[in-house]
């Protein structure tokens, strides 16, 4: 009896802390949302946290009239290409690490482990040099290639750990049937690793979508601008038009919010996959 009451006794301190932190998290998000609906002229007169008395979507119109659609499409192209290529090349490499029993596979894994520790900030100057030398400066490819490179280590690590759980017998039986390595990759490895691909894919999409340093250093013109950079330039351009800037913030987070609602489990496990436990 005493045991049971100890188990179910509510943790009041914890609950207070939890709800307090919720307030800290939600207040800025609530503020972004209501301010984006506030008319420009009311921004200076109304209470910043009150519901706008003349709620309007004008701020969104101003943002969309300023090429936001193009920035959005640039971000979609960069994110989709970077994630697709990262998944494809990392899965092939992970297959080699798991199935190639000699030293090559092990060393590959070690390089990936080390690669996780390379900060983008530290490599940015040589990356800039390489991109300029290759004539790729201010193109979307200049964003895609380095993004792939820095996504590979963690992707390879997660996929490798996943492929190791596939029973040896499955590979053997396909090989007995005379399947080539490519066929095994297509017919066995790809279908079985679909959950891991989804997990790490959603995670890397979040990283690329929100990436700031590569676009800042490797692109320049409005033609190649991606969303995070556009938020920054809106801030300079609109200046005092805070509702428009925050409307752009809302639009920038919508795809990630959709991903979170549709694939919450994948996103959460992707974030903890490399380090959890």
Out of 63, 78, 81, 97, point to the residue binding another protein (CB under 8 A).
97
DSSP codes joined into one string, 116-148:
TT--HHHHHHHHHHHHHHTT-TTSHHHHHHHHH
End-to-end Cα spacing for the chain: 34
Q: Dihedral of the CA atoms 86, 89, 94, 96 (nearest 10)?
A: -170
- Span from 53-61, 63-71, 192-200 in contact with another protein (CB under 8 A): 192-200
Cβ–Cβ under 8 Å, residues 218 and 142:
yes
By CB under 8 A, residue 269 contacts another protein: yes
CB of 138 to another protein, least distance (A): 14
By CB under 8 A, residue 92 contacts another protein: yes
- Span from 56-64, 65-73, 125-133 in contact with another protein (CB under 8 A): 125-133
By CB under 8 A, residue 143 contacts another protein: no
**Looking at 62-189, which runs of residues are DSSP E strands?**
none
CB of 162 to another protein, least distance (A): 4
Distance CA 197, CA 156 (A): 10
Residues numbered 6 to 65 that lie near another protein (CB under 8 A) are 6-7, 9, 11, 14-15, 17-19, 21-22, 24-29, 31-32, 35, 43-44, 47-50
Distance CA 150, CA 90 (A): 12
- Span from 57-65, 66-74, 250-258 in contact with another protein (CB under 8 A): 250-258
* Nearest to another protein of 54, 220 (CB atom): 220
* Nearest to another protein of 37, 200 (CB atom): 200
* Nearest to another protein of 47, 221 (CB atom): 47
- Span from 51-59, 61-69, 267-275 in contact with another protein (CB under 8 A): 267-275
- Span from 52-60, 62-70, 251-259 in contact with another protein (CB under 8 A): 251-259
Number of H-type helices and E-type strands within the chain: 15, 0
CB of 139 to another protein, least distance (A): 15
Number of residues interacting with another protein: please give it, by CB under 8 A: 123
For 100-241, where are the alpha helices, taking DSSP H only? 103-115, 120-133, 140-163, 168-176, 181-184, 190-192, 194-210, 213-218, 227-238
CB of 263 to another protein, least distance (A): 12
Out of 76, 77, 124, 190, point to the residue binding another protein (CB under 8 A).
124
What one-character DSSP code corresponds to residue 132?
A: H
Tokens 């193009």, residue?
70
Residues numbered 196 to 235 that lie near another protein (CB under 8 A) are 196, 199-200, 206, 209-213, 216-217, 227-229, 231-232, 235
By CB under 8 A, residue 152 contacts another protein: yes
Cβ–Cβ under 8 Å, residues 120 and 213:
yes
By CB under 8 A, residue 3 contacts another protein: yes
Residues 6 or more apart from 169 whose CB is under 8 A from it? Answer: none
Cβ–Cβ under 8 Å, residues 230 and 68:
yes
């Amino acid at each position: 009896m005493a045991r049971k009451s100890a188990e179910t006794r509510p943790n009041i301190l914890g609950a207070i802390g939890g709800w307090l932190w919720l307030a800290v998290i939600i207040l800025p998000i609530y503020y972004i949302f209501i301010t984006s609906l506030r008319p420009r002229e009311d921004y200076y007169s109304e209470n910043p946290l009150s519901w706008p008395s003349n709620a309007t979507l004008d701020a969104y119109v101003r943002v969309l009239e300023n090429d936001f659609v193009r920035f959005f499409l640039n971000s979609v192209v960069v994110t989709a290409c970077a994630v697709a290529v990262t998944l494809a090349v990392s899965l092939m490499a992970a297959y080699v690490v798991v199935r190639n029993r000699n030293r090559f596979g092990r060393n590959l894994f070690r390089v990936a482990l080390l690669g996780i520790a390379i900060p983008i900030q530290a490599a940015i100057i040589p990356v800039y040099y390489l991109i300029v030398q290759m004539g790729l400066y201010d193109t979307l490819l200049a964003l895609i290639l380095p993004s792939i490179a820095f996504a590979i280590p963690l992707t390879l690590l997660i996929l490798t750990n996943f492929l190791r759980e596939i029973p040896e017998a499955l590979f053997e039986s396909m090989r007995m049937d005379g399947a080539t390595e490519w066929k095994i990759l297509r017919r066995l490895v790809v279908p079985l690793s679909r959950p891991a691909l989804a997990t790490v894919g959603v995670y890397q999409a979040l990283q690329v979508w929100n990436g700031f340093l590569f676009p800042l250093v490797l692109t320049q013109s409005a033609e190649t601008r991606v969303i995070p950079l556009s938020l920054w330039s809106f801030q300079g351009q609109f200046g005092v038009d805070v509702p428009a800037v925050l409307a752009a913030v809302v639009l920038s987070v919508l795809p990630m919010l959709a991903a979170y609602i549709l694939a919450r489990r994948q996103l959460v496990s992707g974030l903890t996959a490399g380090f959890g436990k």
